[in-house]
Amino acid sequence: MAKNTTRASGHYVKRQTLMTSIVIALMVGFFGGLVFGVYKSGSGLPAGAGGGSSPDGGRAAMLAKLEERVRNNPRDTEAWIQIGHINFDNQQHERAIEAYEKALALEPNNAPVLTDLGVMYRRSKKPREAVKRFDQAIAADPKLEQPRFNKGIVLMHDLDDREGAIKAWEGLLEVNPLAKAPNGQTIDEMVNQFKVQP
């Protein structure tokens, strides 16, 4: 077998082609995972609050109402979560982090919020904080799949920790042996690819 090829299903595949395919699949999977994570955690926004003919206007109006709610009642956890979600969607990472942290001060074991907070820390170029939040989400809800997937992505791509990423994804497979990345690739296929990759 040639040095730069890998045998797959009776055919030879160039290692470079395989590596490129894996990187593309992971990138698609990560961004799809972020969208899936937001969807799974539920934004808590009423219908039309970010939709319709003027999404930014709708979000701005909703954000103003939510900020008024927390001024009147700083212990309104749901309002803080919704403020975090709107800022998440608006790519206002630091504002989303602040809102999620305030919600978690009131409800520390909210695994979906911890997961979203981890995503915001990653986007703020704080991968270690992201992993910390994903770990907290896993501890709060061991069956939640998204923080396990996201943790693997951050470990692999931001912290150059292949073994840690594989371990995170293997933990996901323990929760759901049929788990798939958002691009449709099964997690066990992904793990096996990284295990054989030099």
Cα 32 to Cα 75, 91, 125, 148, 163, distances in angstroms: 33, 16, 19, 15, 23
For residue 197, what pLDDT is reported? 80
Give the model's pLDDT for residue 153: 96
d(CA 110, CA 107): 6
Instruction: Point out the residues of the chain with pLDDT beneath 50.
Output: 1-10, 13, 18, 31, 34-54
Nearest of 167, 193, 188 to residue 20 by alpha carbon: 193
Beta bridge partners of 14: 5
The secondary structure element, H or E, covering residue 5 is strand 5-8
**What is the pLDDT, as a whole number, of residue 36?**
46
Residue 156, helix vs strand vs coil = helix
pLDDT at 104: 98
CA atoms within 13 A on the CB side of 155: 21
Please state, in angstroms and rounded to a whole number, the distance separating the CA atoms of residues 96 and 154. 19
Mind listing the domains of the chain with CATH numbers?
1-41+126-198 (1.25.40.10), 46-107 (1.25.40.10)
Enter the pTM of the model: 0.71
Instruction: Look at the block and give the residue holding tokens 């951050």.
Output: 154
- Give the angle 165-171-173 at the CA atoms, nearest 5°: 105
Angle at 123 between CA 122 and CA 126, to 5 degrees: 40
